[in-house]
């Protein structure tokens, strides 16, 4: 069986037809052209216009480009620690990242997880990014809610991997 290696899938403005639950960021570029993320383990939902498998399937390496994308707000999410008796030990509130520090924040994207993406309105979405602990490289460390504006959201990949098992 011959495999067409020249095929490129291109999904435009179909964020709601993608699933990010296993998605990791292998590279990130934020500049005047927009926001570009290289992703692994992105799930293409069955209802995506580019899904030829008609079932949720993992894409190979995927390039995400939020054209003219700009980060308009970033928040490090707070958390609560409880003991075994369900008593609150410590509470850390959400922390809004100052505009001057947002560029530094984007350096954390590579190697992190893109846990989810939600469209708020056309041309505006939230990215939910979980950084990875420096100590064990398996545990989520900090979570960020990044609000972005963009002209279009383009996802491209060249092949499908396995179907998602539920």
Q: What is the 3-state secondary structure (H, E, C) of the chain?
A: CCCCCCCCEEEECCHHHEECCCCEEEEEEEECCEEEEEEECCEECCCCCCCCCCCCEEECCEEEEEECCEEEEEEECCEEEECCCCCEEEEECCEECCHHHHHHHHHHCCCCEEEEEEEEECCEEEEEEEEECCCCCCCEEEEEEEEEECCEEEEEECCEEEECCC
pLDDT band at residue 1 under the 50/70/90 scheme: very low
Q: What is the pLDDT of residues 50-87, one digit of tens each?
A: 998 889 999 999 999 999 999 999 999 998 888 999 99
Residue 114, domain member (yes or no): yes
Percent of the chain with pLDDT over 70: 91
Q: What is the pLDDT of residues 126-160, one digit of tens each?
A: 999 998 766 655 555 889 999 999 999 999 999 99
Q: Name the residue with tokens 């707070």.
A: 78
**Predicted pLDDT at 7:** 80
Nearest one of 52, 58, 53, 61 to 18, comparing CA atoms: 58
> Considering its fold, how many domains does the chain have in total?
1
Residue 4, domain member (yes or no): no
pLDDT over threshold 60, residue 2: no
CA distance 27 to 33: 16
Residue 109, domain member (yes or no): yes
Residue 91, domain member (yes or no): yes
What integer best gives the mean pLDDT of the chain? 89
**Predicted pLDDT at 62:** 97
**Predicted pLDDT at 103:** 82
Do the beta carbons of residue 60 and residue 152 sit within 8 Å? no
Domain span at residue 42 reads 13-159
Residue 8, domain member (yes or no): no
Residue 131, domain member (yes or no): yes
Residue 50, domain member (yes or no): yes
CA distance 100 to 65: 23
Residue 166, domain member (yes or no): no
């Amino acid at each position: 069986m011959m495999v067409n290696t020249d095929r490129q899938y291109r999904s435009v403005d179909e964020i709601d037809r993608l699933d990010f639950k296993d998605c990791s960021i292998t590279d990130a570029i934020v500049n005047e052209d927009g926001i570009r993320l290289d992703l692994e383990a992105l799930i293409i939902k069955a209802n995506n216009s580019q899904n030829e498998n008609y079932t949720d399937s993992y894409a190979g390496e995927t390039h995400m480009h939020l054209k003219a994308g700009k980060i308009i707000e970033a928040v490090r999410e707070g958390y609560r620690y409880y003991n075994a008796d369900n008593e609150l030990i410590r509470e850390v509130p959400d922390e809004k990242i100052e505009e001057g520090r947002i560029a530094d924040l984007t350096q954390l994207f590579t190697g992190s997880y893109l846990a989810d993406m939600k469209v708020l309105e056309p041309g505006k979405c939230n990215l939910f990014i979980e950084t990875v602990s420096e100590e064990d490289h398996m545990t989520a460390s900090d979570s960020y809610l990044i609000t972005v504006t963009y002209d279009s959201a383009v996802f491209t990949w060249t092949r499908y991997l396995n179907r998602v098992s539920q």
